[in-house]
Homo-oligomer: A and B are copies of this chain.
Amino acid sequence: MQVNKHIQVTMDKIQHFPVLCWKTSKKVGAEDPRRIIHSLKVGLSLTLVSLLYLIEPLFKRLGSNATWAVMTVVVVLEFTAGATLCKGLNRGLGTLLAGSLAFFIEGVANRSGRVFRACFIGAAVFLIGAAATYMRFFPKIKKNYDYGVVIFLLTFNLITVSSYRVDNVLKIAHDRLYTIAIGCGVCLLMSLLIFPNWSGEELHNSTVLKLEGLAKSIEGCVNEYFFDTEIDENKESCSGDQIYKGYKAVLDSKSIDESLALQASWEPRHSSHCYRIPWQQYVKLGGVLRHFGYTVVALHGCLQTEIQTPRSVRILFKDPCTRVAREVSKALIELANSIRNRRHCSPEILSDHLHEALQDLNKAIKSQPRLFLGSNRNKASNMLALAAAEAGQKRCRSGGSLSSVKTDSSALMEWKTKRASEQSREAERKVLRPQLSKIAITSLEFSEALPFAAFASLLVETVAKLDNVIDEVEELGRIACFKEFINGDDHEEQHITVKCEKPNINVSQNQLSSVGGAE
């Protein structure tokens, strides 16, 4: 029976495999239609270089060296123009250096006897191999020229070793260089001229999206903090899922940003209005945004802790907090629009509204001194009962609305459920559990305004960090020669902002490229 069932399951999987493939294909294409174009471009390039073999006169001229053109296309042609150029130049540089060194060594080796020559070549291969590999650990070389060193090593070894058996190495090298050049030419043509994708454009758009995502997260956090039991039409779109999506892209962006900036620095300046586009400044801005993001994560953490300030208390501060969040979010959106339209940001980016909202929050906190006391035992215990009840409710709901927030620990949750039915190691666990819960109880006895104080303080912290973000964006605008801010632009921006307010941040990355390009 067991075996039969197993076979049944496997058969089912095989039957569903084509459907799954088709669905994945459609999804991958829908997420970014440029992927389809890129695939067709690769297919076309490969067919073009194959013609070197298939067409008689060309084959007679180049012979079997045409394989090197095929190899070059497969290895060099990448998704964006910058990546292709970066790889192509690395390859070219590596090949040239390796060729020169190999011929130098051959020249030295040629003057001696056959046995000594073999020893000399062997020693050279060992030394150069070890030295080049060691160099790959140097941080600067690892970052910029890792691929170039691999190609250097490959070419050097191939030439040096071949030269021992073949006499006309120079002729071979010459022919190969020829076909490699053809391959590189096809790659450059395809990546630079036919529907090019620019790494710089990608970095630019992802920066805009990160700013917008953070704006959405902050608003979402505050909305959820104050609205969580009310039935609100905004709730669906501002759930924990949305909050998480907003800052997720920011947190793990370091390596992506750095490689995009590196590739972009190889790209020709396709926008005419600035001499030098400061890609490194985008990376720096990304770093500041990441630090901003950590505060947002901590803010989001306030929604998820076990101990919560009762709703009756929170509601007192709802208005100023919501306004502060709205103003911060508005400033971030303005920064995003400023980068998207490549213009300086509005001088009124930090409006008096933010100032007023902060003062109101201050007033609200000062007007409720008793809440921050926590020594009113009787009142406190009532509130704690309320808080405990709410925490219980919240935990029931958390499976639904917050499901994707807990991606990282979802398996843990699963395991916890599973563990309930698994009694074998219970004895051991009992030693640990009571103490864990003891801590939870201890936490609950804290002054209940403490969690709200943390929330408010973190909110003020985002305002403080907004300063850094504005500084970096201004600096970007200064280096990249953004145009001056004109008040009339605002109308057009509003339009674009509405367009980009779509919830799905991953998908819209490519939808935006046309907006960015149209500018």
Closest chain B CB from A452 CB (angstroms):
9
Q: List the B side residues contacting A32 at CB < 8 Å.
A: 137
Interchain CB contact under 8 A, A161 and B298 = no
Q: List the B side residues contacting A126 at CB < 8 Å.
A: 43-44, 46-47
Q: List the B side residues contacting A343 at CB < 8 Å.
A: none
Instruction: Knowing A129-B46, A373-B369 are in contact, say whether A74-B153 is a contact too (CB < 8 A).
Output: yes
Interchain CB contact under 8 A, B287 and A372 = no
Q: Which of A9-17, A268-276, A357-365, A488-496 contacts B (4 or more CB under 8 A)?
A: A357-365
Interchain CB contact under 8 A, B449 and A372 = yes
Q: Which of A100-108, A224-232, A428-436 contacts B (4 or more CB under 8 A)?
A: A428-436
Interchain CB contact under 8 A, A436 and B355 = no
Select A46's contact among B47, B138, B157, B251, beta carbons within 8 Å. B157
Q: Knowing that A64-B166, A362-B445, A369-B373 are A-B contacts, what are 4 other residue pairs whose CB atoms are under 8 Å apart, sorted by A's residue number?
A: A43-B125, A350-B439, A362-B447, A366-B374
Interchain CB contact under 8 A, B464 and A443 = yes
Does A395 count as interface, using CB distance less than 8 angstroms? no
Interchain CB contact under 8 A, B463 and A439 = yes
* Contact-residue size bin, chain A (C-beta under 8 Å from the other chain): 35 or more
Does A507 count as interface, using CB distance less than 8 angstroms? no
Closest chain B CB from A109 CB (angstroms):
11
Closest chain B CB from A291 CB (angstroms):
6
Interchain CB contact under 8 A, B288 and A439 = no
Instruction: Knowing A347-B432, A374-B369 are in contact, say whether A442-B134 is a contact too (CB < 8 A).
Output: no
Q: Which of A191-199, A205-213, A406-414 contacts B (4 or more CB under 8 A)?
A: A406-414
Closest to A161 in B: B53
Closest to A67 in B: B158
Select A54's contact among B24, B164, B366, B425, beta carbons within 8 Å. B164
Closest chain B CB from A257 CB (angstroms):
11
Q: List the B side residues contacting A162 at CB < 8 Å.
A: 53, 64, 67
Interchain CB contact under 8 A, A439 and B50 = no
Instruction: Knowing A125-B47, A158-B67 are in contact, say whether A464-B306 is a contact too (CB < 8 A).
Output: yes
Q: Which of A214-222, A385-393, A470-478, A508-516 contacts B (4 or more CB under 8 A)?
A: A470-478
Q: Which of A131, A415, A450, A453 has the most CB of B within 10 A?
A: A453
Interchain CB contact under 8 A, A284 and B408 = yes
The CA of A468 and the CA of B301, in the complex, are separated in Å by 13
Q: List the B side residues contacting A153 at CB < 8 Å.
A: 46, 74
Closest chain B CB from A398 CB (angstroms):
14
Listed A/B pairs (13) with beta-carbon separation below 8 Å? A24-B138, A46-B125, A54-B121, A66-B161, A252-B254, A287-B408, A301-B461, A358-B439, A359-B445, A365-B374, A372-B447, A373-B373, A449-B453
